[in-house]
């Protein structure tokens, strides 16, 4: 049957080709690989497309080419600030590229992750970004069988499926504790919420550092499965204090908890850092402007997302990275909340005035 025009009046590639005086396939090539066309035809197709306001039909393209231009992203939480930074990086990197992001939330469940993975892979994504290194065996098998590039983000481990970008949470935690030791703190508590694998590894790092110093005591560790929040930080710290009233420092698995601990200290009129030092994790923006300013471990979340997406897109287009595993490291950002017990810690005039001393390390695996 002749089909000169769709009922909807939508512009198809054929219309563009006709106006440009070329065959549809040539017009098609213009959109996928303009360099393959002669300059004359290229400009003709280009102006024809612009004149008609042509927008390619992605469904048809996907069907015909047997692949999509979709990058699947699996993250465990939309609530957690950490992931919004990573996501922002991913979206920023995908912008301007031909790829679009398909986001799904595993809710910290590796079974849910497996289910979503199956769904994603059936649509032949151009690439995949998954969180962490703790997939189910089934997921792992699917990932390895997938014929698209894959990036694991948030942490690094010994056995990447394909590419990997992150840092060692274990080493980062050890560095934070080492910093507290240096400042003269000995009885250091650990406060953690929602013990996902990465928080667990931070705990492991804490435990090993404390054991190395002969200071570990299980009673110094307070954790819960509840999702993190500032309020929860206060509550967990309250528990910790009830149990061990004479601690001299608290290492918090994230910054929300640290802020909660700070507020709870203020409520109880405990001086920070004179009586208790506080160290957080992630270095969210507010840490630098709290009073006292709060020490934290800076992790390059935005950069992680952006680099992951960039690496992925490059790999999709055949440009594999020199190294498949990228350690983005971390920095302990020393601020007032963990100053030496001899304390130079009274309020500066402005947050901006407080210089940050940094300890930068690539995380070394072990």
Partner DNA sequence: GTCGTTGCTGGTAGCGCTGTCAACGTTCCT
Partner DNA sequence: AGGAACGTTGACAGCGCTACCAGCAACGAC
List residues binding DNA (CB under 7 A): 1, 3, 6, 8, 10, 12-14, 22-26, 28-29, 31-32, 35-38, 40-41, 54, 56-57, 60-61, 63-66
Contact 153, 165 (CB under 8 A): yes
- d(C-alpha 339, C-alpha 183), whole Å: 6
**Residue window 223-242: x/- pattern of binding to a copy of itself, with contact defined by CB under 8 A:** ------xxx-xxx--x----
Alpha-helix residue ranges (DSSP H) falling in 150-300 = 169-182, 197-212, 230-243, 255-267
> Using the rule CB under 8 A, which residue among 325, 351, 356, 359 binds a copy of itself?
351
Q: What Å distances lie between residue 83 and 80, 160, 200, 203, CA to CA?
A: 6, 21, 17, 20
The footprint of a copy of itself on residues 290-319 (CB under 8 A) is 290-291
Considering the complex, state which of residue 63 and residue 213 has its C-beta at the smaller distance from DNA.
Answer: 63
Residues 6+ apart with CB under 8 A from 34: 42
Contact 142, 117 (CB under 8 A): yes
- Of 36-44, 169-177, 241-249, 287-295, which segment contacts a copy of itself by CB under 8 A? 287-295
**Residue window 122-151: x/- pattern of binding to a copy of itself, with contact defined by CB under 8 A:** xx----------------------------
Contact 113, 130 (CB under 8 A): yes
**Residue found by looking up tokens 């990228």 in the block:** 326
Minimum CB distance to DNA, residue 101 (Å): 20
- Can you count the helices (H) and strands (E) in the chain? 12, 13
Render 48-59 in DSSP notation, one character per residue. Answer: HHHHHT----HH
Partner that binds at residue 267, options a copy of itself, DNA, none, CB closer than 5 to 8 Å by kind? a copy of itself
Partner that binds at residue 37, options a copy of itself, DNA, none, CB closer than 5 to 8 Å by kind? DNA
Closest CA to 190 of 279, 299, 268: 279
Minimum CB distance to DNA, residue 59 (Å): 8
Minimum CB distance to DNA, residue 149 (Å): 17
**Residue found by looking up tokens 């420092």 in the block:** 249
Look up residue 227 and give its two tokens.
Answer: 């999702």
Considering the complex, state which of residue 172 and residue 294 has its C-beta at the smaller distance from a copy of itself.
Answer: 294
Look up residue 81 and give its two tokens.
Answer: 């600030």
Residue ranges that bind a copy of itself, judged by CB under 8 A? 8, 55-60, 62-63, 66, 68, 78-79, 81, 84-85, 87-88, 91, 95, 100-103, 105, 118-119, 122-123, 229-231, 233-235, 238, 256, 259-260, 263-264, 266-267, 269, 285-286, 288-291, 347-352
């Amino acid at each position: 049957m002749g089909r000169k025009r769709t009922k909807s009046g939508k512009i198809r590639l054929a219309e563009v080709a006709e106006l440009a005086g070329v065959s549809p396939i040539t017009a098609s090539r213009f959109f996928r690989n303009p360099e393959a066309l002669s300059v004359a035809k290229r400009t003709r197709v280009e102006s024809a497309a612009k004149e008609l306001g042509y927008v390619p039909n992605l469904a048809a393209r996907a069907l015909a080419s047997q692949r999509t231009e979709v990058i699947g992203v699996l993250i465990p939480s939309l609530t957690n600030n950490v992931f919004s930074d990573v996501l922002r990086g991913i979206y920023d990197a995908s912008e301007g590229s031909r790829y679009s992001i398909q986001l799904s939330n595993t809710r910290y469940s590796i079974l849910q992750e497996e289910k979503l993975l199956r769904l994603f892979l059936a649509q032949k994504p151009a690439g995949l970004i998954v969180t962490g290194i703790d997939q189910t065996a089934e997921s792992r098998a699917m990932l390895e069988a997938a014929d698209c590039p894959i990036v694991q983000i948030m942490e690094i481990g010994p056995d990447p499926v394909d590419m990997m970008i992150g840092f060692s949470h274990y080493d980062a935690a050890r560095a934070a504790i080492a910093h507290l030791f240096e400042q003269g703190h000995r009885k250091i508590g650990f406060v953690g919420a929602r013990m996902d694998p990465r928080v667990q590894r931070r705990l492991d790092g804490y435990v090993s550092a404390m054991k190395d110093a002969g200071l570990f005591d299980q009673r110094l560790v307070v954790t819960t499965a509840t999702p993190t929040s500032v309020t929860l930080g206060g509550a967990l710290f309250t528990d910790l204090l009830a149990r061990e009233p004479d601690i001299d420092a608290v290492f918090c698995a994230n910054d929300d908890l640290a802020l909660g601990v700070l507020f709870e200290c203020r409520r109880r009129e405990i001086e920070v850092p004179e009586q208790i030092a506080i160290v957080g994790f992630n270095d969210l923006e507010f840490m630098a402007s709290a009073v006292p300013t709060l020490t934290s471990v800076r992790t390059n979340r935005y950069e992680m997302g952006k680099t992951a997406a960039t690496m992925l897109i490059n790999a999709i287009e055949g440009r594999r990275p020199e190294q498949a595993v990228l350690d983005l490291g971390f920095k302990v950002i020393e601020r007032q909340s963990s100053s030496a017990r001899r304390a130079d810690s009274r309020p500066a005039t402005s947050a901006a005035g407080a210089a940050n001393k940094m300890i930068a390390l690539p995380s070394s695996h072990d």
